[in-house]
């Protein structure tokens, strides 16, 4: 099954959370905070303005994004937990540079 969001909706795969605290304590699953960042999996075609022109979305599949703590609706597609939300719920795109990737 392939899932395609409608209008200005975006499907996001949430980033994995940390298993350990900064002090090295292992955090159990029920105490972990869900990360507020993820990768865009699919995007809708966009919204239409008053004239009927299609306004495309600013995000695209593969973008790393930040979103609000309570944003989106959790869905399960083909056994994978994903989030679906409106583009307006996304706070920004995380842009990586080559120098930052080498330092990591």
Q: List, for residues 3-27, the tens digit of each pLDDT value.
A: 788 888 999 988 876 565 556 666 6
Residue 2's contacts (CB-CB under 8 Å, 6 or more residues apart) are none
Predicted pLDDT of residue 2 = 76
Distance CA 40, CA 64 (A): 6
**What pTM, to 2 d.p., does this model score?**
0.73
Average pLDDT in the 28-54 region? 80
Q: Which two tokens stand for residue 49?
A: 């303005």
Alpha helices (runs of H) in the chain, residue ranges in sequence order: 98-103
**Average pLDDT score over the chain:** 80
CA 26 to each of CA 31, 35, 81, 85: distance values in angstroms, whole numbers, following the listed order:
10, 16, 23, 31
DSSP bridge partners of 6: none
Domains of the chain from N-terminus onward: 9-15+29-103 (2.30.33.40)
Q: Look at residue 43 in the predicted model and tell me its pLDDT.
A: 92
């Amino acid at each position: 099954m392939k899932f395609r969001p409608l209008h200005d909706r975006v499907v996001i795969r949430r980033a994995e959370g940390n298993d350990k605290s900064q002090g090295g304590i292992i955090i159990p699953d029920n105490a972990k905070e869900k990360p507020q960042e993820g990768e865009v999996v699919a995007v809708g075609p966009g919204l239409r303005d008053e004239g009927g022109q299609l306004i495309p979305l600013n995000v695209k599949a593969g973008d790393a994004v930040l979103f609000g703590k309570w944003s989106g609706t959790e869905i399960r597609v083909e056994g994978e937990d994903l989030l679906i939300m409106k583009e307006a719920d996304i706070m920004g795109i995380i842009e990586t540079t080559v120098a930052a990737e080498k330092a990591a």
